[in-house]
């Protein structure tokens, strides 16, 4: 009897009232989902604040101080930057960073592009060759640099031994100021070329085969198909590889530290290694933070410039002027 009365009352309940109850229940459900979503994001946000945001803000503070870890930071304003302008080793390390970046990155991307073209075909064992070229990428840089340090030894190294077999007197490699940086570039490209090759290979496999068939019907040569089909369609992948490679090259540290330790005569001391030496070897934390700020600004400017160029090169947008 009571159930029938309740059913009758609910039937007589106005439609607007039932709609309001539904909206209230739905709003409560959405509120609960929102709170749950924020709770799931909280650990990641807390990690970002503790391990990234706070160190970045603290670095901007200590770059204006004189701090040797043995005493309290002393605020000195922009004196660290004034010292930097007069620091010969700073300019040397900056030139080394640009030399390494703008030689290693174009060379590596050029080789990776042709490797990707060679491996973008159907043949027996192609998976094996793709794996072989990518394996150095997953090798620890410290381990790879240790092996290459032995390979570059002037007397017992493998490279000079092979050169001697064909009558060539090999250089001293990492012990020579002229050959040390090319030696680091060769080792870095050997290890990192697999990543660029993999990205470009994925881009090549995403190009529709119909484009090549249509261009072949129109009489386009192999070079014309590469210029007018492959390169334009591959431009987003190339742009991604260029941006990530430039940022990674400016931040390169392990191979320099293990392979050459910045020598000989600071010929392979990039800005990253100079930051490490000042902050953790000479305990000039304020000066090291100021050097890191300069590196951050350089990477930021280059990345913004690349995005500006990409508007037209990759996405086809005209400049606003």
Say yes or no to pLDDT of 194 above 80: yes
Q: Which domain holds residue 21?
A: 2-55
Q: 46 is written with which tokens?
A: 């807390």
How far apart are the C-alpha atoms of 82 and 140, rounded to whole Å? Answer: 38
pLDDT for 314: 65
Residues 215 and 254 in one domain: yes
Residues 186 and 298 in one domain: yes
How far apart are the C-alpha atoms of 275 and 281, rounded to whole Å? Answer: 10
* Whether the Cβ atoms of residue 104 and residue 96 lie closer than 8 Å to each other: no
How far apart are the C-alpha atoms of 183 and 173, rounded to whole Å? Answer: 6
pLDDT band at 54 (very low <50, low <70, confident <90, very high): very high
Task: Report, as an integer, the average pLDDT of 74-101.
Answer: 96
Residues 110 and 216 in one domain: yes
Residues 167 and 232 in one domain: yes
3-state secondary structure of 270: coil
Structural domain count, the chain: 2
In a domain, 147, yes or no: yes
pLDDT for 2: 44
In a domain, 181, yes or no: yes
Say yes or no to pLDDT of 319 above 60: no
* Whether the Cβ atoms of residue 182 and residue 238 lie closer than 8 Å to each other: no
Residues 87 and 30 in one domain: no
Say yes or no to pLDDT of 56 above 50: yes
In a domain, 318, yes or no: no
Write the DSSP assignment of 208-256 as a string of letters: -HHHHHHHHHTT--HHHHIIIIIHHHHHHHHHHHHHHHHHHHHT--HHH
Residues 43 and 139 in one domain: no
Task: Report, as an integer, the average pLDDT of 109-117.
Answer: 95
Residues 41 and 85 in one domain: no
Q: Can you give the CATH number for the domain in which 253 is found?
A: 1.10.3720.10
Per-residue pLDDT tens digits for 32-44? 777 887 888 899 9
Residues 230 and 118 in one domain: yes
Q: Is 67 exposed, middle or buried (0-12, 13-18, 19+ CB in 10 A)?
A: buried
Say yes or no to pLDDT of 287 above 90: yes
3-state secondary structure of 26: helix
Residues 16 and 116 in one domain: no
pLDDT band at 122 (very low <50, low <70, confident <90, very high): confident
Read off the pTM. Answer: 0.83
């Amino acid at each position: 009897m009571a159930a029938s009365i309740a059913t009758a009352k609910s039937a007589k309940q106005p439609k607007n009232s039932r709609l309001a109850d539904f909206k209230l229940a739905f709003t409560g459900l959405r509120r609960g989902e929102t709170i749950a979503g924020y709770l799931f994001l909280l650990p990641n946000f807390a990690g970002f604040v503790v391990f990234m945001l706070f160190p970045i803000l603290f670095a901007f503070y200590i770059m204006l101080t004189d701090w040797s870890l043995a005493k309290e930071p002393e605020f000195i304003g922009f004196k660290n930057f004034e010292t930097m302008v007069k620091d010969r080793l700073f300019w040397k390390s900056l030139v080394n960073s640009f030399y390494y970046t703008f030689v290693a990155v174009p060379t590596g991307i050029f080789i990776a592009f042709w490797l990707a073209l060679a491996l973008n075909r159907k043949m027996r064992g192609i998976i094996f060759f793709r794996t072989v070229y990518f394996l150095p990428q997953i090798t620890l840089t410290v381990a790879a640099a240790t092996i290459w340090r032995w390979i570059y030894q002037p007397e017992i190294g493998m490279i000079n031994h092979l050169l001697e077999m064909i009558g060539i007197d090999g250089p001293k490699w990492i012990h020579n100021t002229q050959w040390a940086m090319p030696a680091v570039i060769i080792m870095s490209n050997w290890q990192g070329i697999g990543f660029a090759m993999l990205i470009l290979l994925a881009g090549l496999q995403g190009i529709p085969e119909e484009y090549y068939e249509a261009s072949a019907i129109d009489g386009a040569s192999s070079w014309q198909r590469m210029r007018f089909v492959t390169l334009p369609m591959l431009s987003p992948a190339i742009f991604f590889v260029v941006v990530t490679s430039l940022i990674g090259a400016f931040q390169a540290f392990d191979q320099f530290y293990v392979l050459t330790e910045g020598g000989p005569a600071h010929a392979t001391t990039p800005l990253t290694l100079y930051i490490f030496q000042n902050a953790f070897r000479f305990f000039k934390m304020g000066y090291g933070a100021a050097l890191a700020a300069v590196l951050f600004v350089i990477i930021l400017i280059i990345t913004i410039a690349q995005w500006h160029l990409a508007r037209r090169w990759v996405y086809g947008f005209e400049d606003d002027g």
